[in-house]
Amino acid sequence: MAFRESPFGELKVPLAWTAAVALIVAVVVAVALLMSDRRETFQSEAYGVTRQVGDAVAAPVSGALAAPGRWTGLGMENIRDYLFAVSENRKLKAELKEARQWRDVAIALRDTNDRYKSLLGLKTEPPIPMVAARTVTDSRGPFANTRLANAGMEKNIQPGNPVMSESGLVGRVIGVTRGASRILLLTDIASRTPVMIDRTNARAILTGDGGPNPKLDYLRGKAPVKQGDRVLTSGDGGVLPRGLPVGVAVKGLDGHWRVILASDAAPIDFVRILLFQDFSQLEKAQKDELDKMPVPPPSGPVEGVGMVPTPGAPAPKAKPPTTITATTVVPAKPAAPKPAALKPATSKPAAPKPAVKPAAPTPAPVTPPAAAAAEVPF
């Protein structure tokens, strides 16, 4: 008895072709994903376009896939807030009472600081613009800790811009495309951030190792850090602004100083991307402010100072000297010619003139000799 032929025999060839096409498509997609997530990717390299396209496509898809989980989390948070509303209200009242005292101290310190700045003539750094965004996906693994934000080139975001949450520093931008930006978290193994200890001003490098608490490397000095010291960005190298909150220093089980990140205090949902790239941005902003200031008219050049005579040119006429002061150039009045010194006369002393000129003698009558003694003497 012959066996009945199977009705699916004609489907063997189409199924084989379908499996081959699916295998080829899977290989191409896998290669594209590997290239898009390559850690050495830079915008100038050929495969940078692949990563940009992957981020642009993944942003809306990941946002749609993450929406149910986000809504579920918000619902659970609302239920938890409702159940613990009484205890949370008491805690907030105590914090508000303490915050009011610190508010008065902060206002007094701010006024004092402003007066000191005005006396010293200090110029503060201009404000840094920022862009608000929402993180739509989370890529975590043994080597990669990154997020994808729904803001990109259209908002002037550039690689290197720092990213802040409501609690502290999250990381920095490492890739930008239209509509999406990739954020490298502080915990990533490739993350290196210059920081300082707020209490001692000691410098260090915050090194990510894939764990929740990055390490503090290259600490210098004797006891530069203690348990609970605040860690801020140092601004060294001009990569990040100075003074951004990072976290609190703690001693790890392995003996290394580590940091409990301030951004871990709450889920990282909405972030602020600071449009800060390097110190040249601050220099340009300060230059723009200086260009707005009125410039006094330049004073005339002082002739005879720093001038080199041209060969064959006639010698300039001598001009009265000028008096140079610290602020203005005042021409000195020409000196009046001094009178020639009078030499003493060497003439002979004149004979004394008689007070009364004697009259001419008149002939006197002849008298006898006895009468001659009666003549008037000369």
Instruction: Give residue-wise pLDDT tens across range 134-161.
Output: 987 666 666 678 888 989 999 999 999 9
Give CA separation, 241 vs 130, 194, 282, in Å. 13, 10, 10
Q: Which residues contact 183 (CB under 8 A, 6 or more apart)?
A: 135, 146, 147, 148, 149, 163, 170, 171, 172, 173, 174, 271
How many residues make up the chain in this entry? 378
Contacts 24+ apart (CB under 8 A), 19-25: none
- Tell me the sheet residues that pair with 134: 270
8 Å CB contact between 275 and 131: yes
Q: Which residues have a Cβ under 8 Å from the Cβ of 188 and sit 6 or more positions away?
A: 144, 145, 146, 171, 208, 210
> 152 with 181: CB under 8 angstroms?
yes
Cβ-based neighbour number of residue 298 at 10 Å: 6
Q: Which pLDDT score, from 0 to 100, does residue 294 have? A: 60
- pLDDT tens for 271-330 read 999 998 665 555 565 566 656 656 555 555 545 444 555 555 555 555 555 444 444 444
pLDDT in tens, 335-373: 555 555 555 545 455 555 555 555 555 555 555 544 444
DSSP state of 137: E
Give the angle subtended at the CA of 234 by the CAs of 233 and 239, to the nearest 5°. 80
**Per-residue model confidence (pLDDT) at position 29:** 81
Give the tens place of pLDDT for each residue, 255-275.
Answer: 899 999 999 888 888 899 999
| Helix residue spans in the chain (DSSP H) | 12-36, 48-83, 85-120, 279-292
Which one-letter amino acid corresponds to residue 291? D
